[in-house]
Structure 1
Amino acid sequence: MEKFVLYFNEIDKKSLPYVGGKGANLGEMTQAGFPVPQGFCVTTAAYQIFVQTSTKMNDFLDQLDDIDADRLDEIRLIGQQIRARLEQMPVPSEIEKTILAAWQHTGVQKAYAVRSSATAEDLPNASFAGQQETYLNVQGEAQLLDAIRRCWASLFTDRAIAYRAKNGFQHRQVHLSVVVQEMVFPEVAGIMFTADPISGNRKVTAIDASFGLGEALVSGLVSADLYHVRDGQIVQKKISKKEIAIYAQKDGGTLTKDLSPEMQEQQALPDKRITQLAQLGRKIERHYGTEQDIEWCFADGQFYIVQSRPITSLYPVPSFADDQLHVMVSIGHIQMMTDAMKPMGLSVLQCPFRNFAHEAGGRLFVDVTGLLSIPITRKKVPQILKQMDEQIADALREVSLRDDIHFPTKRLPLRKMAPIALPVLSILLKNLFFVDPAKGINSVAERMEHSLQQCRKHISAESGAGRIRAIQAEISALVPRVLPKIVPYMVTGIMASRVIEKWMEKWLGDAQQMHLLNRSLPGNVTSEMGLLLGDLADIARQHPSVVQYLQTANDADFAAGLDAIPGGDVFRQAFERFMQRYGMRCPGEIDITRPRWRETPTALVPAIMSHMRTVGLGEHRANFAQGASAAEAAAKEIIAKIRAQKGAFKARMMSRMLNVYRNLGGLREHHKYLLIQHMGIYKQAIVAEAHQLVTNGVLDQASDVFYLTLDELGALLAGHFTGDVLERIKERKTQYVYQQKLTPQRVMTSDGEVIHGRRRGVKAPAGALTGTPVSAGVVEGYAKVVLQPETAELNPGEIMIAPFTDPGWTTLFHSAKGLVMEVGGQMTHGAVVAREYGIPAVVGIGGATKTIKDGAYIRVDGTQGYVQILQEAAND
């Protein structure tokens, strides 16, 4: 027979199914010897029997299963019905007898705090804090039973129902225990976080304190004192005006009282008690092994802990072998893909940078501490990263100037850098000043093709664990073997554009024509991909049967289905040519586990349809040609002005830079394109091995391989894998679902502190959203929020609002009138393509996809760097 009551000293963390998260934590702390007021838990078995006495509960739960989290009116109605039903039901006699026996054992003369404790509460990944009810200063048998019944009913408060629906918890699977705990009548109470919940710093303990019961603080009725403690020292104190406090009444319940003027300004906890409490918090944190959100109170010269739960709002921090402070930058923000990645995707990107790239929350962060320790790179790195994300650059400047963070000064390791730097510098100088830049595109293409042939040959010659080792060797060799021979061409183009801009400002007074020079750069693989997609749309629009087919096509027999319809063979041939060049691409392509276009060809259909709606037949090619003509005309005009105003020599200098930029500026994304081409080869090999593992009964399905790392897959193929592979994959899938909900930070330290940086210098109207201007011009139109490009369908005149873009999003750029992104900088993908297409763009507007609603009429100023919402969406 299941127990209806468990005392705290009978409970530990394994008791969660019986006493819920709150009860399990209180029992665990009691067992560990922490100062917890004693009591007992009415178990979930008692709750289940109680609700089963109602014949209507199954019908109610059926209704809840069909309710979405945003249907608040329906939630409110059914929640009221359930609570009214449960609050009127009698407690079964057997349960009532057991509860009263425990109450008599603990002390009938005492007052109690009666708290709800759900089985989906105070969990590492979901706190559910405040979703159910708490009753304080409960005295006597009648009050106790009534409070327990009301706690059971509170499992169905509106907020609890909506929270479960939003976070994917089944209403039937969440049960409720009730904590009955001896009431402490505190002089001071509050909340303690063993990591600063605002900055994320794990070394700082943050303590809120107010007079009386902690309910005034928790419910927001009073502004509490705030104390910060680090390494046993108080580093910050903010004494608030505490106008009221909540105290217990003699006959039960609580009373809100006004505090005297003297007491309102008084520090709630003396310094000695603050450091003592922080020390106790660290002990609790060490016991649980993770940062804690702790409810505490102080009475009769002693601290009591009345609750402790994991802090679920903190972003995870990478682990380091040393105790030194490290500063890390998000690779996802630099590469325009901030989504969580599966273990295989992370391990592929980590492979060549094992000493610098660290995983946290399903994302990669690069350790830039060494660069910040060298005076010259401390200055230059933020300047370089400003082109990728302005807020990252500002954050690094901020952290390098802070008095409380010290970097040991190191010298630039010139001897180690010389073997790589000198050849790169040689190529760069030749391209900038001597060789014909028109040959650069072919030279880069030849080197890329040679690298791909070597990669295919090396990997195809192996199988099993040997093939995985070959992949790892290829990844590690790619950076030092190939990229130094390709990146200089891209850098030359960037340097030429900087020189052109500076000379225009110096010699002509402004660089307003720079945006014309950015148009239709030859050789840009991303622009060429967009043009080919436009060609596909033009072919489709000439064959109505093809258009109809595309709207119902599926991935499994996409090409075969085309052969059976008029015009299908023409479209298929063009589509296959597209796939030969770009089939290894997709949105979020730096994650090797993402489905490639060759695997999911229907992902391109929305872009093709959008193109047909928004761009006329042949218009994309005409626009590109027009952009090239405009760039050529601008170049001639600039040279003529300089010759007239500054002389022939400076005109020849500018002519050379213009020639270099127009020929090499389009190579901006070749290095990434090469990486993605290699990834296509790696992925085909990995999937081939995964299918063999499925055939051998080792894996359930081939896609499960993505929840392993490269090292783990190699060990599995070699027969050296330790543990249960299927269980590990199951755990990783659960972890991945959690990681997808996290919001990664741009810059953070190994202490967990988030460094935000501050944007400067944007002149914008009041109320405008400010960001980084990356493509000049002003445009007005209706906002189209796009979170997944494979399902997006833009209409004429719409402005695309996106979290980020990478080459997999390029298919939408022909259709967009303007662009707004949450992350990015001057040289990130979206900015470069927007300039080439001549559409105004602003990036780095955090939360843009939530703030700007679908259908809102907005103005995008890509010159100044702001977005105005001129008219809210009609349904707002």
Structure 2
Amino acid sequence: MSAVPLLMDLPDAAGLTALAGGKGAGLGLLARYGLPVPAGAVLTTAAYHRAAAETGLALLPDGSDGGALGARRAALLRAPLPDAVAYALEQAVRERGWTDLPLAVRSSAPQEDSGSASFAGIHHSVLNVVGAAALADAVREVWASLWTPQAAAYRARFGIPEGEAAMAVVVMPLLPARASGVAFSCDPASGREDLYVIEAVHGLGEALVGGLVAGERTVLQEDPVSGGFAVQRRDGGGQAVRVLPAQGGGTRREPLTLQAAPVLDDARACELAALVRDAAHALDFGAPWYDLEWAWDGAKFWLLQARPVTARPWHTYPALAGQNAIWSNGNTRDVVPLPMQAMDWAVSRGLVDLLLEAGYRSAGFPLLAGARRARLFNGRLYLNAAFIQWEGYDGFGVSPAAMNRLLGGHHPEIRVTPRDWRARLKGLAYMLRYLVRTPALRRRGREQARAAFDICRRWRAEDLRALSDAELATRLASAFPHVQAQDGLLLLQGSSGGNLHMLLELVERYLPGQGHSLVAALMAGGEGSVSARQGYELMAIARRAMADPRVAAWLQAGAPYDFAALPADAPFRAEFARFLDTYGHRSVHESYVRSPRWREEPAYLLDSLPALAAVDHAALVRRQREAAAAAWAQLAAALPRSRRGWARQLLKAARDETPDRELARSAMTAYGEVARLRLLEVGRRMQAEGMLERPDHAFDLLPWEMEAALHRRLAPAAFRERVAERRRRFAEWERHCAADVIEEGSAPPAPVEGVDASAAAGGWRGIAVGTGHVEGIARLIDHPAEGARLGAGEILVAPATDPGWTPLFLRAGGLVMETGGYLSHGAIVAREFGIPAVVNLPGIRSVLQDGQRIRVDGRSGRVEVLA
């Protein structure tokens, strides 16, 4: 076993917090990730422990009183460095050519610059250190700062035992800084994530960091479409200070004449913001909120320190102040149940806001600027349920409870005050604007969806290997802005539940407690969505395929499917090719760019054909029509004659809207397939140049990192390091379960309850999203690839579903899902197929047994185990 090093280069200190301290470990990571960090070394905590042992610190009195602390400081300042430590320092300075250079000697305690404690300004740093003797003095000063009253008080505040106190020291040449300061990858005052804040002074930044001068503050806003930055405002004068050696040691600060020009002009401020974004996301793309010290030497920006922002407030609506942020994956887990890679999150983070804002923008509702509705926890996508509830309530009067049922998930309701007549009048105005403006926008959305399939067909046909790196970079950079400009498509995907909600309210008013089940039955009579149509078309192909003995034998032989062995004159060839041409962009887990599409890997579809051929399509259609007719008869009997016309109008609108949501999803997935092909081509090129081990590791990169690769702005090792760390973290995310609800704030989190295993006798109640009831065998399916286990008429019990599960819906007699709401994909398709379905039963798969006989009541939302 090798000895613990006393001194190491910064890149070797990457992530070794216990040995190199927070500052040293963070700078080491930045260096490994290819970011501009000055050459430096870390005197490790092992050196401190050796000095403490030789100085006899353990023999001095314990305690945080002034006498005990003073004795420890005096002992460290008085004693010479241990011989091995002094030799390591002298050798490092000599070998690096730093003998006559002014050095910066900075503290780096293990708890420093962590996510919970920054120790900002607590420990000591020394600048302009020249020569071996001065360097030894500076190191002792830094060590001794561990035992000041303020350091002891800070540790006590965060519950850090005195026995864990230790200190590493970062040593690096002092940069000839023309400007320096700190920069934040968020607004630390408001918590806004789209704002970057730069504090700058002329010369060295120690006076700014130490609070001795007020710097020039520049606030920049990130453009979610282009990824660029724009200066929003600039405050302060950026007082200039020169830091010089003082007689008798230490430093002195001398004011300089400040020029009229800003410390950083707009172009340089934008350049620095881009660097800060890259550094913050390299360190943690899921929580990229960092405070970084920087310096500019007249030609280049350098990073001198990185620490997480430890007290970022929640940027929220005034009405939600004092309440918790409620993060839920009750709806998102339906389509993105797995951890996200960097590229998926980079796209989803901004797209979620655009989708959820689309309807409110058309209504003229004043959305909170800079609001973020999506977060990653353990790599999974969560939505801000508090925002969604508040905007629905304040905008359209939808109660938090009703919004929760639409959204899905077991999260608490926000506290709201009753709406007075002014609020109701505003809400009526929003609703009228929504009703007037959205029909035209929906028509445009359908046109944009149809156009998307043609556009993507052309884009897929392009020979990507023939493109230059610059041309490929242009293709990547233009794709996301193109999708974001599809305003109608965004509305279809993100705002297709308004009329459905009004229909639910109307039914509940006249038939209390039956709204969800009756509306589910009514919706079964509408025109099928694209997800349903692809299922019906696949079913028709299956029947014809199994009617051809040659094709049936080929299919029943199973994977691997060799199309060359299929008879050349079999009509199935052309039929299946046409299906893939229309629907080949889809797949299981299609929301992830890493998922191969059916066009690439059709085995899942081919596996499902024999079982689909046995499904009685006529019976399925008959069941839908009968359910819809019976539901309408019941509703019409309960409604006053004056309300029936309104009910028909709402039903028609809801039947139009719901397929719109699936159509938009399909179009978005088509764009996702093209993005996958382009990213894989970049990955292939990066692999050829040693930047990646495999082409699909490109999915672990962020958009600007991919652009940097195509323009050769980073060394190959930097990409490998970033990807290796993200893949390690991804594997860790996969090992952890995702909580249903995460609350952040000062209030105690509301308890989140799953199903009660002891309640088997009485059954469990979820959200009724399908019609009718069914008794049958429960078949617990983890992944649609296991679909062969599902017998015809058995009840599919799934964690979540996306369009890739549709072939199983056609065979299932009923559906039970742990997650989902009234607008989730599984709910939409279950209603269309007219199958009994209950969703939003977290933990139900842990209490049901595979093969158990159960009853699913799509009218009451109840699931029961039968004897």
Aligned equivalents of 2:573 and 2:746: distance in 1?
Answer: 52
How far residue 675 of structure 1 moved from its aligned partner, in angstroms, is 1.0
How far residue 395 of structure 1 moved from its aligned partner, in angstroms, is 3.0
How far residue 542 of structure 1 moved from its aligned partner, in angstroms, is 1.0
Other-structure match for 1:169: none
Taking the TM superposition and a 5 Å limit, the aligned residue runs for 1:11-410 are 279-280=159-160, 318-320=287-289, 323-326=311-314, 327=325, 329-330=327-328, 333-334=331-332, 336=334, 337-350=336-349, 352=351, 356=372, 357-366=374-383, 376=394, 382=400, 385-392=403-410, 394-395=411-412, 397=414
Compared with structure 1, are the counterparts of its residues 752 and 804 closer, same or farther at alpha carbon in structure 2 (3 Å cutoff)? farther
What does the per-residue CA deviation read over 1:609-660, in whole Å, with 9 as the maximum and x for residues that have no partner? 3324xx44xx125422552365256546755x47xx734x433333333333
Structure 2 contact 445–491 (Cα < 8 Å) conserved: no
How far residue 716 of structure 1 moved from its aligned partner, in angstroms, is 0.9
Structure 1 contact 371–377 (Cα < 8 Å) conserved: no
When normalised by structure 2's length, the TM-score is 0.55
What does the per-residue CA deviation read over 1:263-298, in whole Å, with 9 as the maximum and x for residues that have no partner? xxxxxxxxx99x95962259959989xxxxxxxxxx
Compared with structure 1, are the counterparts of its residues 472 and 371 closer, same or farther at alpha carbon in structure 2 (3 Å cutoff)? farther
Does structure 1 residue 736 correspond to structure 2 residue 736? Answer: no
Compared with structure 1, are the counterparts of its residues 576 and 851 closer, same or farther at alpha carbon in structure 2 (3 Å cutoff)? same
Aligned equivalents of 2:349 and 2:163: distance in 1?
Answer: 35
How far residue 368 of structure 1 moved from its aligned partner, in angstroms, is 6.7
What does the per-residue CA deviation read over 1:167-197, in whole Å, with 9 as the maximum and x for residues that have no partner? xxxxxxxxxxxxxxxxxxxxxxxxxxx9xxx
Other-structure match for 2:777: 782
Matched residue SS, 1:386: helix
Aligned equivalents of 1:495 and 1:689: distance in 2?
Answer: 41
Q: Which amino acid aligns with 1:631?
A: A
- Give the stretch that moved more between structures: 830-839 or 619-628: 619-628
Aligned equivalents of 1:808 and 1:830: distance in 2?
Answer: 11
Q: Which amino acid aligns with 1:771?
A: G
Aligned pair count reads 571
Structure 2 contact 521–771 (Cα < 8 Å) conserved: no
Taking the TM superposition and a 5 Å limit, the aligned residue runs for 1:763-842 are 766=761, 768-793=763-788, 794-842=790-838
Does structure 1 residue 601 correspond to structure 2 residue 602? Answer: yes
Structure 1 contact 521–628 (Cα < 8 Å) conserved: no
How far residue 669 of structure 1 moved from its aligned partner, in angstroms, is 1.7
Given candidates 525, 529, 532, the residue that maps to 1:527 is 532
Aligned equivalents of 1:30 and 1:865: distance in 2?
Answer: 62
Any gaps of 5 or more consecutive residues in structure 1?
15-20, 39-193, 195-200, 204-271, 289-314, 402-410, 432-439, 872-876
Does structure 1 residue 498 correspond to structure 2 residue 511? Answer: no
Given candidates 666, 670, 686, the residue that maps to 2:679 is 686
Other-structure match for 1:545: 550
Structure 1 contact 424–488 (Cα < 8 Å) conserved: no
Matched residue SS, 1:839: coil
Given candidates 711, 732, 741, the residue that maps to 2:704 is 711
Aligned equivalents of 1:559 and 1:575: distance in 2?
Answer: 11
How far residue 560 of structure 1 moved from its aligned partner, in angstroms, is 3.5
Given candidates 628, 631, 638, the residue that maps to 1:631 is 628
How far residue 853 of structure 1 moved from its aligned partner, in angstroms, is 2.7
Q: Which amino acid aligns with 1:807?
A: P
Aligned equivalents of 2:852 and 2:47: distance in 1?
Answer: 57
Alignment RMSD: 5.2
Matched residue SS, 2:864: strand
Aligned equivalents of 1:646 and 1:781: distance in 2?
Answer: 38
Other-structure match for 2:853: 857
Any gaps of 5 or more consecutive residues in structure 2?
11-16, 22-43, 55-110, 118-151, 169-283, 291-308, 315-324, 354-369, 418-422
What does the per-residue CA deviation read over 1:542-589, in whole Å, with 9 as the maximum and x for residues that have no partner? 12432332344556x65433345xxx7222222112212211111211
Other-structure match for 1:536: 541
When normalised by structure 1's length, the TM-score is 0.55
How far residue 473 of structure 1 moved from its aligned partner, in angstroms, is 3.6
What does the per-residue CA deviation read over 1:208-231, in whole Å, with 9 as the maximum and x for residues that have no partner? xxxxxxxxxxxxxxxxxxxxxxxx
Matched residue SS, 1:521: coil
Matched residue SS, 2:585: coil
Does structure 1 residue 487 correspond to structure 2 residue 481? Answer: no
What does the per-residue CA deviation read over 1:433-491, in whole Å, with 9 as the maximum and x for residues that have no partner? xxxxxxx7x86543312345456768959753543444344323424x32435636985
Aligned equivalents of 1:366 and 1:473: distance in 2?
Answer: 27
Does structure 1 residue 669 correspond to structure 2 residue 674? Answer: no
Other-structure match for 1:182: none
Matched residue SS, 1:668: helix
Matched residue SS, 2:863: strand
Structure 2 contact 798–816 (Cα < 8 Å) conserved: yes
Aligned equivalents of 1:464 and 1:788: distance in 2?
Answer: 38
How far residue 777 of structure 1 moved from its aligned partner, in angstroms, is 3.5
Matched residue SS, 2:736: coil
Aligned equivalents of 1:733 and 1:489: distance in 2?
Answer: 31
Structure 2 contact 328–384 (Cα < 8 Å) conserved: no
Compared with structure 1, are the counterparts of its residues 850 and 10 closer, same or farther at alpha carbon in structure 2 (3 Å cutoff)? farther
Structure 2 contact 6–45 (Cα < 8 Å) conserved: no
Other-structure match for 2:565: 561
Compared with structure 1, are the counterparts of its residues 425 and 285 closer, same or farther at alpha carbon in structure 2 (3 Å cutoff)? farther
Matched residue SS, 1:775: coil
Structure 1 contact 325–751 (Cα < 8 Å) conserved: no
Structure 2 contact 333–819 (Cα < 8 Å) conserved: no
How far residue 866 of structure 1 moved from its aligned partner, in angstroms, is 3.8
Matched residue SS, 2:720: helix
Matched residue SS, 2:812: coil
What does the per-residue CA deviation read over 1:812-871, in whole Å, with 9 as the maximum and x for residues that have no partner? 101112222121111111112222222222222223333323222333333333433446
Compared with structure 1, are the counterparts of its residues 379 and 797 closer, same or farther at alpha carbon in structure 2 (3 Å cutoff)? same
Structure 1 contact 563–569 (Cα < 8 Å) conserved: yes
Aligned equivalents of 1:395 and 1:624: distance in 2?
Answer: 38
Aligned equivalents of 1:502 and 1:646: distance in 2?
Answer: 15
Structure 1 contact 589–676 (Cα < 8 Å) conserved: yes
Aligned equivalents of 2:768 and 2:810: distance in 1?
Answer: 20
Percentage of matched positions with identical amino acids:
23
Q: Which amino acid aligns with 2:777?
A: Y
